[in-house]
Chains A and B, each alone.
Chain A
Amino acid sequence: MLEIKALHASINGNEILKGLNLTVKPGEVHAIMGPNGAGKSTLASVLAGKEDYEVTSGEIVFDGKDLLELSVEERAREGVFLAFQYPVEIPGVSNVNFLKTAMNEIREHRGLPALSAKEFLSLVKEKSALVELDATLASRAVNEGFSGGEKKRNEIFQMAMLEPKLAVLDETDSGLDIDALRIVAQGVNTLKTSDNATLVITHYQRLLDYIVPDYVHVLFDGKIVKTGGKELALELEEKGYDWIKS
């Protein structure tokens, strides 16, 4: 589904990713761990197509398509979803309106008719229950006045609505208390199918107690330096990142 080959990317002339390789198949959950500054969030941004980052060499193939050729919105419509570390507030735009606009754009891209208001609203009801999101949040402005936990749950709610092929969770656990963490993880697990894949980017092992990865990769200085099963996360937790560096 996703194949990243020898990816080099920089921001403002500083090279952050220095030859990253990664292959993700449908149905798999991959965790990317690493110390601060290793390039974890850069990877997420490059996958989503954020303009600030310049890909200097390498390739990313997603579902047989050259992802780097696609615009931000085309990637999203093809099924790449980024759960933001810091979700953005959009004052005056209701969550529902925002999502309906997004969904219809994606559906149009896939040759599907727009959802009727009724279908859409029943979907909102179903999916918001998944992340125990208060129904009133759906009618409030996008992320405006949401608590940190509500913002993260809102990201997973949007993910549930948009049904991406590849979900990239960028530090989704940061700032979450243990209950919110459990709810978010449960949401992600419920959405897992044999056709989609999840890339969990995290600094800490604790999220992986709830979202159990098939593979754990350690990102260090712009490259993946170690790959293993879920037990690698525990080992990292115990020994710290210095273990990798040495």
Chain B
Amino acid sequence: MQADDTQGYKGESLEVFEKYDFRVWGKVKVTTTRGVFEGTVLPRSENDDDQHIVLKIITGYNIGINIKTITDIVELGYSKANYKIPEKAFPYSSDKPNVKLFGTGGTIASRLDYRTGAVIPAFSPGELYGAVPELADICNIETEKLFSVFSENMGPEQYIILAKAIEKEIEKGTDGIIIGHGTDTLHHTAAALTFMVQDPPVPIVLVGSQRSSDRPSSDAAMNLIHAAYTASKSDIAEVMVCMFGPTSDEYGFLHSGTRVRKMHSSYRSTFRTIGDTPIATVRRNSITKIKTDRKPRRSDKNVRVNAVFNTKVSMLYYYPGMQPDVLDAMVDKGYKGIVIVGTGLGHVNKLLYPAIERAAEKGVAIYMTLQTIWGYVNMFVYDTGRDLMSKGIVPAGNMLPETAFIKLGWALGQTDDIEEVKRIMLTPVADEITPREPYDGYLVYQGGVPEVDEFVKNFRK
């Protein structure tokens, strides 16, 4: 029996295959102590147990059969599922902007294989057109799959490849760039690209889908339409994240790549600009700017790409009672840069002081960011803060912890000179440190208050 014929089955359930001689995709009649079941044997997910065999019954439902109850299995037929994504030629029109879509592995558009339930990512222009035909009304799309990794597996190596690929496209004269990306680390990649690809002449738009694209109510198609519109039509030539504004299918937000953060594990409206307003709202065929000081689209093909990253950078999320050995361990392991995520205005306990001094003496760049997410580090308010600064910790303003981590890796990729690193870190490339925080940059309303409830009711979420 070939491995294919028992796909995903192991241990005791695999023995059942041998005993009764049937195959995955075989049409079988299973006699058990609980009755007779008929259906097609499906592959089993490898993480599931070895006590059950999965059948798709005629009504389309799947059921599992306990192998301990099986008294006989007869294979009556065989029909292997064969999946193929339907391709429809993406219509090209010379009067429409040309947009390049880079794939990293997240499935912004996909179709479903009904028999296995597997989600097959739609990626080629033809597949995309099949899934979201509206794209053809906006632009011409060319696609390139750079990697096939989940969001959590994106890292410095991928940032560098991506930055260089973008440079090449810009030099070729594309009208805009879209990057399809899983949502978990979308904002890390957005920050990395902001630093690595500076002053692009065209929009660079990162997009994903928060609720999987195989569901009819997915945010994927709308995000993709918004991203395509932004990449091809907007006059904002920056690295931006384009995701749902409210959880409703109403409009998307364009967020600055360094100020955006994923704030909910599953909500559609998970991406929020922190400590500022988003750049703009985007609908199917319009962009409404919220901020007017953005870098405009240009007709040249110039871009400054500086794709470097020192991976010896880490983050330390402070907790009460933290012992100095964790910091010592990082230094001993050769880390050159550490972003501390401190409490309140930027504090850690006294126990860490010796470790911080030791790290600073060894030339490790240490930056302070905030667990509060919102607000500025201010280490002058309390003596503790002053002590910490005197020991070598540099306050990172209102830079988000994730952004600070990415920027420190990028800075240390350019130089070992601790002063030069400090200059790079504290000189904003985009919005990673803003000179001021608008009063509406921090809006986290709490339900239950009558006026908030009224607002939510009248203006939708």
The finding on whether chains A and B are genuine partners in a shared complex, rather than unrelated, reads no
Q: Using a CB–CB distance below 8 Å, which chain B residues touch chain A?
A: none
Q: Using a CB–CB distance below 8 Å, which chain A residues touch chain B?
A: none
